[in-house]
Amino acid sequence: MATMTVIEDVHDDHPAADALTLGRRIRAFRQKRGMTLEALAAAVDRAPSQVSTIENGNREPRLALLRGIAAALDVTVDDLLAPEAPDERAALEIAVERAQRGPVFASLGIEPTRVSRTVPDTTLHAILALHQEVERLHRERAATPEEARRANAELRATMRARDNHFPELEAIAAKLLAVVGHTGGPVSHQTVSDMADHLGYSLHYVGDLPHSTRSVTDRRNGRIYLPTERSASRDSRSPILQAFASHLLDHDEPGNYADFLRQRIETNYLTAALLLPEKDAVAFLTEAKNFRRISMEDLRDAFAVSYETAAHRFTNLATARLGIPVHFMKVHESGTIIKAYENDSVAFPSDALGAVEGTPVCRSWTARTVFDVADRFSPYYQYTDTPSGTFWCTSRVEKAKEGDYSVSVGVPFAHVKWFRGRETVHRAVSRCPEESCCRRPPSALAGRWEGMAWPAARTPTSLLAALPTGTFPGVDPTEVYAFLDRHAPTSASA
């Protein structure tokens, strides 16, 4: 397929011209003079096919040839290089040609339509309209950082409005737990296997799972593929529950990035609701509240889940079932927020779109100060005075391949009476978002080093790469389909 070219620097006094427009203008002037293609070609001492290529916008003429064409047509070079199409029909043809030569059309793998005088205007309008719609969908699915951050902010607002409690998901979890006969206590691996079997799925552990996936579900053959190597930092039950959660929730392929995020949140919620059943978890937490000893560590140990899962599950039940407003944060050791939720009026940092992820947390908040605590095994508690009130938080540092991160749960001062650790003597003051709090270095330190330091910043890969796109962002469909081909039952792969 020919690529659209642009004629540059034809002359210092001539602006850059689009080859398609130039070609159509040459053709229009030629036809106006009643000159055939062969006659023009003879006048400039070129083959008719060469002139035809120029008129079709597939070749850019050199300045000398352009002057010769202008002289033969009795016009100026400026007349030929004018940016306007010669008429409405030519403008339509140019628009269609541009569309068919663009990357979006090329990605469709469709043979372009030859744009000739015999093609009706209605057909060209239809091609152009279809292309514009496909281009719009591509832009929508491109999931730019701005779109993703806006979608995150909107989802967080929805979660806040519902106190992060979704009864419809709790009901699905309770029904499945009842079907497999779970009567209380931690959900065992056998129980999880029974759930998969009840839903018509068999579990298969393989060593070649696509690197961009946690699991792959073969809906045709009712198989869930999982990695043979189990992560020390992840609960091995979670990937199985997440794999069939979409089946339980009747998820379709996400139509945009907001759909993808919503489905992921629903999947994670349902997984937690299966691992920490609402009835049992509420009974456990209510007893702890009565004894004024609510603890994320105790919740973790009672249900044999990770600290992060316990902390996040607590936010589902704290307000709706215990009457306690709460906030949650997962913060990377660099100080940036990975996940966050609040309904207790704590003021998270945010950008202009209202997005919290990726913004830096105040150095005085528990989520940051916990990294400086030498004892990584004991719970850490702290009171923080902020412009929006005093909050108590408990935090713990966890490890992952991306580095250390803290998981924090906090409540307003008025509700700390229900928690273990309320007697802590650790206290800090945060004036953020005032820059004088921690965004600017102390004046004495800045005075010694300002203008004398030149750090080499480590640029995150995510800053340079586009946000993952596709139906399932970040997942390579070719790799997944090839994997399923390798592992499909012989009778089903034909």
- The domain spans of the chain are 6-140, 144-178+188-275+453-481
Query: How confident is the model at residue 5, as a pLDDT?
Result: 36
Query: How confident is the model at residue 402, as a pLDDT?
Result: 77
Query: How confident is the model at residue 139, as a pLDDT?
Result: 64
CB 105 within 8 A of CB 131: yes
Query: How confident is the model at residue 46, as a pLDDT?
Result: 93
Give dist(CA 260, CA 254) in Å, integer: 5
CB 276 within 8 A of CB 310: yes
Each residue's pLDDT expressed in tens, for the chain with a length of 494 residues: 333 333 333 433 433 358 889 999 999 999 999 999 999 999 999 999 999 999 988 888 888 999 999 999 999 999 999 989 899 998 999 999 888 888 777 767 788 888 888 899 999 999 999 988 887 776 655 556 677 778 888 899 999 999 999 999 999 999 999 999 999 889 999 999 999 999 999 999 998 888 878 889 898 899 999 988 765 556 789 989 998 888 899 888 888 888 888 999 999 999 999 999 999 999 999 999 999 999 999 999 999 999 999 999 999 999 999 999 999 999 999 889 999 999 999 999 887 667 788 888 999 999 999 999 999 888 999 999 999 999 999 999 998 877 899 999 999 999 999 999 999 999 999 998 887 888 777 788 777 877 777 766 555 544 444 445 555 555 666 667 677 778 878 755 44
Q: Which amino acid, 419?
A: F
Query: How confident is the model at residue 449, as a pLDDT?
Result: 77
Query: How confident is the model at residue 317, as a pLDDT?
Result: 98
Q: What is the pTM of this model?
A: 0.68
Q: Which tokens is 146 given? A: 């701005």
Query: How confident is the model at residue 212, as a pLDDT?
Result: 79
Q: Give the helix ranges, DSSP H, for 278-363.
A: 278-290, 296-303, 307-322
Q: Is the dihedral of CA 40, 46, 47, 52 positive or negative?
A: negative
Q: Which residues pair with 391 in a beta bridge?
A: 384, 412
Give dist(CA 117, CA 177) in Å, integer: 68
CB 267 within 8 A of CB 484: no
In sequence order, the 6+-apart residues with CB closer than 8 A to the CB of 226 are 203, 204, 205, 206, 209, 215, 239, 240, 243
Query: How confident is the model at residue 474, as a pLDDT?
Result: 57
Give dist(CA 343, CA 158) in Å, integer: 11
Q: Give the helix ranges, DSSP H, for 44-120.
A: 48-55, 63-73, 77-81, 88-101, 103-108
Comparing CA positions, the residue from 416, 435, 49 lying closest to residue 41 is 49
Give dist(CA 51, CA 46) in Å, integer: 7
CB 436 within 8 A of CB 363: no
Query: How confident is the model at residue 352, as a pLDDT?
Result: 65
User: Sheet of 223-227: strands edge to edge?
Assistant: 202-206, 223-227, 216-218
CB 174 within 8 A of CB 277: yes
394 phi and psi, to 5 degrees? -120, 140
87 phi and psi, to 5 degrees? -160, 175
Query: How confident is the model at residue 465, as a pLDDT?
Result: 45
- Per DSSP (E only), the strands in 336-482 are 337-342, 380-386, 389-400, 403-412, 427-429
Does the domain made of 6-140 have the CATH classification 1.10.260.40?
yes
Q: Which amino acid, 267?
A: T
Q: Which tokens is 96 given? A: 């269609």
Burial string for 444-469 (b: 16+ CB within 10 Å, else e) reads eeeeeeeeeeeeeeeeeeeeeeebbe
